[in-house]
């Protein structure tokens, strides 16, 4: 990795990054958002929570074909597919997934935890045969780590999930690869650090940049609402420390999750922030502010492939510290949706931009 400080302007070239957690959606929305991810990231772990969840290898294959068909001309972006775990996912499906070469993980949404999670797992004990097959075959379990009980405070749901569920899964399946997705708390960071090397975590740029005050800055801010919800400052500080520590258990996962403006700006607004338009640039901001730009390449381009047993990318991306304005909205008319998408930092600016991507 090369970092040049020309006076105050930083330029850095790193191995091309991957996004280890993204929502690409389907149909017109897929066509609208895929170019942003494909420009920055060579590969991405694609979440399976479509309206009709991606439960089988056959469905993952069909979804993969739709993603490949939606790539911009000339793009060799590689979608790494996932299956949506249900109470009824069979060990045979896991064997098919492993044999497929294109399914790289299985996503565990507790039923009712978030967008399109109604078919999620009601009780992880029901999945023990499936988890045993994943452990035996080396297929990682990606965890949305929040309990769903209405009686548990929304800000405590990650910590309670770790204590009640995740700790048991990790103890029961010691060789199962587990990723605590979009970790948001110091409890989550501490758990992952103390766990065996089989346990990792992804970190979003927005949880590294914002604390929960962002939800209420001058009024209610639906575009800062995601799940797990933003947490208080001491948690953000713990995430920052984990991301910039050089510990290979922590790696990049944007959790970019597009919802049309009308679905966000509503009496019951959807959870999710769209960050793919600045998917690597925002992390560069975070690492620069922390004085840790030399650790960005490990976090963004090396730790994830190592965890998944894949080779790092061969090409490189160059970023320069030069501010650019983020539009107020991205019009979706060009893909046939009469709505828009409000990107992260809409109407504000991002401090790094891409100078080039090369082989
Ligand atoms: O904020 C979120 N949005 N969290 C999730 O877990 C799901 C995602 C989505 O699909 O919109
Ligand atoms: Zn997600």
13: Cβ contacts below 8 Å, ≥ 6 apart: 1, 2, 316, 317, 318, 319
Mutation test residue for ligand 1: of 270, 273, 274, 344, the one with most atoms within 8 Å of CB: 270
CB atoms near residue 356 (< 10 Å): 10
Mutation test residue for ligand 1: of 113, 272, 273, 341, the one with most atoms within 8 Å of CB: 272
Which helix H or strand E contains 130, and what residues bound it? helix 128-137
Could you tell me the distance, in angstroms and rounded to a whole number, from the CA of residue 3 to the centre of ligand 2? 31
User: Tens digit of pLDDT per residue, the chain (359 long)?
Assistant: 888 877 678 999 999 999 999 999 999 999 999 999 999 999 999 999 999 999 999 999 999 999 999 999 999 999 999 999 999 999 999 999 999 999 999 999 999 878 788 889 999 999 999 999 999 999 999 999 999 999 999 999 999 999 999 999 999 999 999 999 999 999 999 999 999 999 999 999 999 999 999 999 999 999 999 999 999 999 999 999 999 999 999 999 999 999 999 999 999 999 999 999 999 999 999 999 999 999 999 999 999 999 999 999 999 999 999 999 999 999 999 999 999 999 999 999 999 999 999 86
Domains and CATH numbers, the chain: 18-309 (3.20.20.140)
Ligand number, closest to the Cα atom of 115: 1
Q: How far apart are CA 178 and CA 198, in angstroms?
A: 6
Which of ligand 1's atoms lies nearest the C-alpha of 272? 1
Ligand number, closest to the Cα atom of 44: 2
Task: Please give the C-alpha separations between residue 159 and each of 164, 196, 254, 270, 281, in angstroms, as whole numbers.
Answer: 9, 18, 21, 23, 29
């Amino acid at each position: 990795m090369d970092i040049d400080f020309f006076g105050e302007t930083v330029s850095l070239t790193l191995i091309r990054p991957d996004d280890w957690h993204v929502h690409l959606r389907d149909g017109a929305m897929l066509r609208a958002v895929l170019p942003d991810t494909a420009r920055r990231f060579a590969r991405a772990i694609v979440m399976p929570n479509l309206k009709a969840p991606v439960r089988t290898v056959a469905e993952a294959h069909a979804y993969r074909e739709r993603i490949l068909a939606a790539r911009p001309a000339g793009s060799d972006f590689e979608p790494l597919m996932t299956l949506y775990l249900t109470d009824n996912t069979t060990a045979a499906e896991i064997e098919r997934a492993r044999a497929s070469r294109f399914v790289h993980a299985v996503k565990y949404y507790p039923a009712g935890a978030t967008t399109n999670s109604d078919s999620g797992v009601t009780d992880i004990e029901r999945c023990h045969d499936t988890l045993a097959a994943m452990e035996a075959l080396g297929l990682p379990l990606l965890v949305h780590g929040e309990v769903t009980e209405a009686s548990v405070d929304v800000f405590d749901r990650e910590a309670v999930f770790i204590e009640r569920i995740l700790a048991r899964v990790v103890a029961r399946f010691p060789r199962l690869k587990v990723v605590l997705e979009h970790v948001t708390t110091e409890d989550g960071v501490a758990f992952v650090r103390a766990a065996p090397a089989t346990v990792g975590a992804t970190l979003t740029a927005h949880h590294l940049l914002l604390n929960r005050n962002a939800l209420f800055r001058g009024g209610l801010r639906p575009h800062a609402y995601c799940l797990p919800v933003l947490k208080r400052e001491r948690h953000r500080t713990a995430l920052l420390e984990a991301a910039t520590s050089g510990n290979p258990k922590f790696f990049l996962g944007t959790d970019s999750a597009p919802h049309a403006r009308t679905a966000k700006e509503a009496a019951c607004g959807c959870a999710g922030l769209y960050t793919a338009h600045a998917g690597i640039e925002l992390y560069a901001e975070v690492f620069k502010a922390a004085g840790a730009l030399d650790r960005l390449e490990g976090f963004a381009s090396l730790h994830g492939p190592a965890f998944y047993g894949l080779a790092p990318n061969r090409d490189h991306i160059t970023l320069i510290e030069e501010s650019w304005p983020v539009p107020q909205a991205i019009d979706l008319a060009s893909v046939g949706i009469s709505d828009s998408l409000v990107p992260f930092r809409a109407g504000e600016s991002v401090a790094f931009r891409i100078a080039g991507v090369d082989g």
